[in-house]
Structure 1
Amino acid sequence: MGVESFAVRVSPERAQPGSKKHKTVSLPEELIQEEILPRLPITSLVRFKLVCKSWRCLFSDPRFVKQHNNYQNPDDNDCLVVHKSNHIAILSRYGEKFVLRSYGYRLIGSANGLVCIRSGEVLSIWNPATRQSMEFHLPPLGYGCLKRVGFGFDHVSNDYKVAICYNSLEFLRVFYAVYSCRSGTWTYHEFDHHDYEIIISKFEDSFTPTTMVKDSPYWTCSTIVSSRKDKINLSLVALKFDATSNEFKLLPDFSSDFSCEKTFKVLNMKGLLSFMAYELCPVRKLEVYSLDEENGCGGGVWSKMYCFGPFEEFRRFRLLQQGFKNGDEIVIYDNAEIYRYNHKMGTFECIPSTAPRFILDCFTHTPSLVSLQGMTSIYSKNQTPPVGQHSTTPLRLIDSLRDHLPF
């Protein structure tokens, strides 16, 4: 019996000799819902939503979604969502699973299978697995200037949030606003003077988050400590948005002697906030550090996880991107190709990809059945959603974003 069959045909024990009658015996509904359905892949459950209303409601139940995630093979669902120059793709270790053509929008982040996209004044929360999305607008900023946008998950209130940070040219102060997907409203906050002075003292190295760890966005910031003709010393730090407290927090500085011959980046490695420093000359080694006992602003210590190298093909590490959550592979972009490097094996393996382009953003991604109130199909009414992989352009999602482009 296949995993998608939920009834068996058996002959009754007291059937008359020569009789061809059979009795259809259905499996108990409790067994189906508790033991069979949670073990099926997401692609099957998306199709089974059309079986009956009770199953459709079941697949949206948070308890079932959590149970389904626990039953799935972590390696099979350990993916990345990447924004290349012309499309957004879901990547596994072995290939590209889905491509969404880009029309000028940016990837903001990914949490629990949900992906946040921004296009002009419109933000979209999209689930590539269930093929649903919801859209909302940025709040009026007046004469303000948008500085950064992040996406996170509040584990306490079970709420997904989008945070924006902006300068007010009218009041000469720095504000931030937080959107709650549960309530559908924005709340407004102002940095106090002390936090404002600390944050503006750091260079903003990225508009979108550099990485996401445990469903929280992090930005890489740096400031020049000293500078000489042949060397620049930097103080590096990660800025975090805590969705539970609705606060931006600066984590402990990672201070080191970084010359012009070093490349560095804050990444997610094996589910840990990690800092990578690659020395181009002369030893060509890659050092990986993680933040221990991170408990908010001013807490925690950076500790070295490992160091490996030297490498002959060292230039690939100029474009470090991300690490898979459940492994030791580091994802690298080089010459229009995407590689994963396994430091234990010392090997490079190319990830097959269609139309590779320069990678702009990259986050860890775990497909899930998570659905939010207000989400609808990414396909328009006159479209038939494809079976299996996405092969039809999601017109409703693209149109809702493209209609609000700033050009």
Structure 2
Amino acid sequence: MGSKIGVANSLPESLIFDEILARLPVKTLVRFKTVCRGWYFAITSPEFARVHLAFSYLRQVFLINISERNIRSLYLLPYKDVDDDEGLVKFVTKYYQSLTLVGCCNGIVCLCLRDRRNCFKKFILANPATREYREIDNLCGDYDVKAFGFGYVSSIDDYKIAVVYCDSNEKVNHVYTFSLETGTWKQVVANIAGEDVNKFEGGYSSFYNNKIYWKNHRFMKDGKRDKFVFSIDLITEKWEEYPWINGLSPYVHVDLVVLQDRLAFIGEVSCQNYSDVWMIDEAGDWNIWNKVFSVDLGYGRRFLNVSDSGIYLALVHWDQLELIYPSSGPSRQSPQSTYWFKRGLSLVKKTGFYYDTFISPFGKIAHSGAEISCKQLEPNPKQ
């Protein structure tokens, strides 16, 4: 026994923290903070958070926003360890009435909170693993939030929220970005003032290559719809408009998403059980799109997302979530795991990916001495 302790004590700290502890989930590491004072400060340091982040993607799971009786909740669905997964797990309790998923980057989940009248109240930047959250109040109380997005810009090491406000006539009024690092709002000069925002797809966006994208359309004088895409560059904070790509007209429904780190359109084929996936050029050139694959998951299944390893997430008959794993043989992919939710009362609003990290929703502000309270996500809040 003594020799084993001696070997452990002889290990360099860099090996212990950077190669061993950095591979463990946050839930386990939180307990290790009580080992000694040195471990506490090492595990809670921003440097360790960055090292730990490099391994966190290995624990990636699907993140799903489901609306149940007009109450939107978040769920986690593991997919890597089929035999050991916990199934569909409630992500955040009903501490808040209704949570809309804005986006998720590096374990920081951005949520939109609305009241019972569906009016925007505030944004929440949350790290559920460390039970920290940061509330960001509505900047323009006289206007409603119609579209939003969230992303991380590695070149400036900052997380940003983009918001499109509209007036009582459903016309675009202001566009702002919020910086996690500075804790301030900044107005974006956008050439969309007066645009009709009814078709902002519920505000949902996609983050790709430092930009947040929304699909929209405007009605022309002849009554036809002009489809296009808006974006905000989170580095330059400039607003851009892109034309609708060729090849999407045959589809009854089109989603703009990010699949396998590429911006993509998912087109649902009318009266058939498959979807086509169009991806942007690897260089990110908007003028170059290619139909890279088609997804045929069988009758009654709607393609929602796909992992880097080719595991599909599908919606089945509107009341089931299904994980479909790649087949090792010549036969078509077959479902491996099925998860039910309330029949006829639920609707999948948005999907993404989540993994636990130590990244703080307060950024550098949390270490600057500013008087900001760090609240805890209550596991069983009193109603």
TM category, shorter: 0.7 to 0.9
Within-5 A mapping of 1:330-345: 330-342=313-325, 345=332
**1:30 matched to which residue of 2?**
14
Q: CA distance change for structure 1 residues 266 and 180 in 2, over 3 Å: closer, same or farther?
A: same
Decide whether the 8 Å contact of 2:174 with 2:187 is kept in 1.
yes
Cα distance in 2, alignment partners of residues 304 and 220 from structure 1: 19
Cα distance in 1, alignment partners of residues 377 and 292 from structure 2: 45
**2:269 matched to which residue of 1?**
279
**2:369 matched to which residue of 1?**
none
**1:247 matched to which residue of 2?**
238
2:76 matches 1:90: yes
Choose the corresponding residue for 2:215, options 190, 197, 220.
220
The SS at the match of 2:74 is: strand
For structure 1, the residue ranges without an aligned partner over 5 or more in a row are: 1-7, 12-21, 381-391, 400-407
Q: CA deviation at 1:360?
A: 2.2
Cα distance in 1, alignment partners of residues 338 and 222 from structure 2: 39
Cα distance in 1, alignment partners of residues 136 and 240 from structure 2: 26
Q: CA distance change for structure 1 residues 137 and 352 in 2, over 3 Å: closer, same or farther?
A: same
**2:130 matched to which residue of 1?**
130
The SS at the match of 1:121 is: strand
Q: CA deviation at 1:334?
A: 3.1
Cα distance in 2, alignment partners of residues 24 and 252 from structure 1: 63
**1:384 matched to which residue of 2?**
none
The SS at the match of 2:185 is: strand
Decide whether the 8 Å contact of 1:58 with 1:64 is kept in 2.
yes
Choose the corresponding residue for 1:209, options 204, 229, 248.
204
Q: CA deviation at 1:97?
A: 3.8
Choose the corresponding residue for 2:108, options 99, 104, 114.
114
Cα distance in 2, alignment partners of residues 224 and 278 from structure 1: 23
Cα distance in 2, alignment partners of residues 25 and 173 from structure 1: 61
Decide whether the 8 Å contact of 1:161 with 1:180 is kept in 2.
yes
The SS at the match of 2:188 is: strand
Cα distance in 2, alignment partners of residues 24 and 363 from structure 1: 42
Identity of aligned residues (%): 18
Task: Tell me the TM-score normalised to structure 1 length.
Answer: 0.72
1:115 aligned partner, one-letter code: V
Superimposed CA distance per residue, residues 35-93 of structure 1 (whole angstroms, 9 cap, x where no aligned partner): 2211222221122233344434433444433322333563x324324233242112222
Cα distance in 2, alignment partners of residues 223 and 341 from structure 1: 37
Decide whether the 8 Å contact of 2:319 with 2:340 is kept in 1.
no
For structure 2, the residue ranges without an aligned partner over 5 or more in a row are: 80-84, 114-119, 367-371
Choose the corresponding residue for 2:93, options 76, 88, 101.
101
Cα distance in 2, alignment partners of residues 294 and 252 from structure 1: 18
Cα distance in 2, alignment partners of residues 257 and 71 from structure 1: 38
Cα distance in 2, alignment partners of residues 216 and 116 from structure 1: 16
**1:58 matched to which residue of 2?**
42
Q: CA distance change for structure 1 residues 37 and 186 in 2, over 3 Å: closer, same or farther?
A: same
**1:3 matched to which residue of 2?**
none
Q: CA distance change for structure 1 residues 79 and 105 in 2, over 3 Å: closer, same or farther?
A: closer
Decide whether the 8 Å contact of 2:212 with 2:234 is kept in 1.
no
**2:140 matched to which residue of 1?**
140
Q: CA deviation at 1:375?
A: 7.0
2:2 aligned partner, one-letter code: R
Q: CA deviation at 1:114?
A: 0.8
Task: Tell me the TM-score normalised to structure 2 length.
Answer: 0.76
Cα distance in 2, alignment partners of residues 227 and 278 from structure 1: 27
Decide whether the 8 Å contact of 2:60 with 2:353 is kept in 1.
no
**1:150 matched to which residue of 2?**
149
**1:19 matched to which residue of 2?**
none
Moved more, 283-292 or 203-212: 203-212
1:89 aligned partner, one-letter code: Y
Within-5 A mapping of 1:328-407: 328-342=311-325, 345-352=332-339, 357-371=346-360, 372=362, 373=366, 374=372, 376-379=374-377, 392-393=379-380, 395=381
RMSD over aligned Cα atoms = 3.6
Decide whether the 8 Å contact of 2:110 with 2:123 is kept in 1.
yes
The SS at the match of 1:207 is: helix
Q: CA deviation at 1:264?
A: 1.9
Decide whether the 8 Å contact of 1:133 with 1:375 is kept in 2.
no
1:178 aligned partner, one-letter code: T
1:121 aligned partner, one-letter code: K
Q: CA deviation at 1:291?
A: 0.9
Q: CA distance change for structure 1 residues 173 and 253 in 2, over 3 Å: closer, same or farther?
A: closer
2:17 matches 1:67: no
1:118 aligned partner, one-letter code: C
Q: CA distance change for structure 1 residues 227 and 90 in 2, over 3 Å: closer, same or farther?
A: farther
Q: CA deviation at 1:246?
A: 2.1
**1:269 matched to which residue of 2?**
259
Larger radius of gyration: 1
**1:160 matched to which residue of 2?**
159
Q: CA deviation at 1:110?
A: 1.0
Q: CA distance change for structure 1 residues 42 and 237 in 2, over 3 Å: closer, same or farther?
A: farther
Q: CA deviation at 1:316?
A: 2.4
The SS at the match of 2:28 is: helix
